[in-house]
Structure 1
Amino acid sequence: MSLKEVFAEIEAGFEAAHPGVDVVVNFAGSQILAGQIEEGAPVDVFAAADEAQMRRAIAGGRVAAGLRFASNRLVLISPAGAAIVGPGELGRPGLRLVLAGPGVPAGSYARQALQELGVAEAALANLVSNEENVRGVVGKVSAGEADAGVVYATDVTPAVIDKLHVVPLAVTVTPSYEVAVLKDSPEPALARDFVAELQAPAGRAALARHGFLPP
């Protein structure tokens, strides 16, 4: 889900450069997409928000290898009117913490970050919801249904930034994104072109505009 806006932009540019081609993008948590690939869904290109979900696709036999094309940062978010100033507050009694589920890349990264910061045990004691994807975390915090969450920096979009207080997390955990062409893609040449677009100047510029970092 974290790639939604930037892939929409890249999709438009790709279609303009390939007249007659209609790129159909399925946006969901990487764990859901990997599951769909395992079940045989017709797919040309798979983009995952972590290495684990790409390994899952590789283990299923439909993907040979993933290519890292971008990275991200983790931030702590809280409602603008009730700001959390740092991760040390996440263990405060009564605080409502929301994370993506542990099987979701954003949720796995968040738990690693809390562990690195030394606040995992206290923070997870306040966990009230495991969301299916990172946008679910943003939605609950921005609506005031939770007091704090950990998300990707790129998910603090213009649509929600005024509703949130954002604190970058000083951790070594670095979310990374991988992409691959499926072995059984019915359009392998176009699929390879799309992957190449992510590495081309226009693709890199689009990723940067949306806050993504180089791989």
Structure 2
Amino acid sequence: MTRLRGPALRVVLLAAVGLGGCSSSPGAGKTELHVSAAMSLKEAFTDLEAGFEAEHPEVDVVFNFAGSQILAAQIVAGAPADVFASADRAQMERAATSGRMQPARVFARNRLVIVAPASDTAIQGPADLSRPGLRLVLAGEAVPVGAYAREALHRAGVRDAALANVVSNEENVRGVLTKVAGGEADAGVVYATNVTGELAGIVRTIAFAGADDVVPAYEIAALADSPQQTLAGAFVDRVAGPAGAAALGKRGFLPP
């Protein structure tokens, strides 16, 4: 069996976690609909793209996937966008301070899991994240999954000891997965929906016992200053409707 190392391994890991910003290129002569969405929504929203464009053949959906805190900051700074989908309410409220947001609605929920390299069976629950010497990687405090993780650690009674083990704070959930899958950390906290495909053989997931009431909730809204109000509203309706529920459910998201 050939073992990948260095740059070759990193290429495989980046492909597995699906890192990257925009998933579509503008179509010539089409109306562009700019959707800024949390990185954890990348696969589900990409699944929805073809159906929406089939219903609206004059439209090219252009995605901007990043951490919700980055997207909210872009909106506050005046960056063009037609729709914003956030992984938590805090970043949607931050975007709303711009005065640019229509009312938001919750369209999906998720759950947190601990991830560790597949070969490491020592970690069995959140208490193990406080072990001296363990290398823990989280998303940053302003990143929704990082905020959720810290609250879950608090509920599990291990917040201070676990945070003392943090060796890296990432900009989004994919950064956490990359560090754990690449062996740069012993454990991390991500969304359950992120551990799919090739990653399922690279990392293993552990239930986050003791924090069942920490339930990540996703919100979506059109921007009030979008030049494509009708299309933006239609995209929001699709995500929050039956087609969105099917695509999100297929990727492991929970109903709102």
Is 2:94 the partner of 1:56?
yes
Is 2:223 the partner of 1:177?
no
After the TM superposition, which parts of structure 1 deviate over 2 Å for at least 4 consecutive aligned residues? none
The corresponding residue for 2:30 is none
Letter of the 2:147 counterpart: S
Letter of the 2:47 counterpart: E
Measured in 1, the distance between the counterparts of 2:235 and 2:67 equals 20
3-state DSSP of counterpart to 2:60: coil
Measured in 2, the distance between the counterparts of 1:202 and 1:34 equals 26
The corresponding residue for 2:129 is 90
Q: Which runs of 5+ in 1 are unaligned?
A: none
Match of 1:2 among 40, 50, 59: 40
Match of 1:47 among 85, 89, 97: 85
The corresponding residue for 1:135 is 174
Comparing 10-19 with 183-192, greater Cα deviation is found at 10-19
- Counting aligned pairs with the same residue, the percent is 61
Measured in 1, the distance between the counterparts of 2:69 and 2:166 equals 21
3-state DSSP of counterpart to 2:61: coil
Counting matched residue pairs gives: 215
Cα deviation, residue 13, structure 1: 1.2
The corresponding residue for 2:114 is 76
Cα deviation, residue 92, structure 1: 1.1
TM-score by length of 2: 0.82
Measured in 2, the distance between the counterparts of 1:86 and 1:37 equals 37
Cα deviation, residue 12, structure 1: 1.4
Cα deviation, residue 199, structure 1: 2.3
Measured in 2, the distance between the counterparts of 1:127 and 1:173 equals 20
Cα deviation, residue 50, structure 1: 0.3
The corresponding residue for 2:140 is 101
Measured in 1, the distance between the counterparts of 2:41 and 2:240 equals 15
- Render the CA deviation track for 1:91-117: whole Å, top value 9, x for unaligned: 111100000000100000000000000
Correspondence list, 1:126-165, <5 A: 126-165=165-204
Q: CA RMSD in A?
A: 0.8
Cα deviation, residue 133, structure 1: 0.3
Cα deviation, residue 165, structure 1: 1.4
3-state DSSP of counterpart to 2:141: coil
Measured in 2, the distance between the counterparts of 1:4 and 1:194 equals 15
Measured in 2, the distance between the counterparts of 1:125 and 1:195 equals 40
Cα deviation, residue 198, structure 1: 1.1
Letter of the 2:51 counterpart: G
3-state DSSP of counterpart to 2:59: coil
Match of 2:68 among 30, 33, 39: 30
Cα deviation, residue 31, structure 1: 0.3
- Render the CA deviation track for 1:1-39: whole Å, top value 9, x for unaligned: 100000001111101111121000000000000011011
3-state DSSP of counterpart to 1:135: helix
Letter of the 2:63 counterpart: V
3-state DSSP of counterpart to 2:201: helix
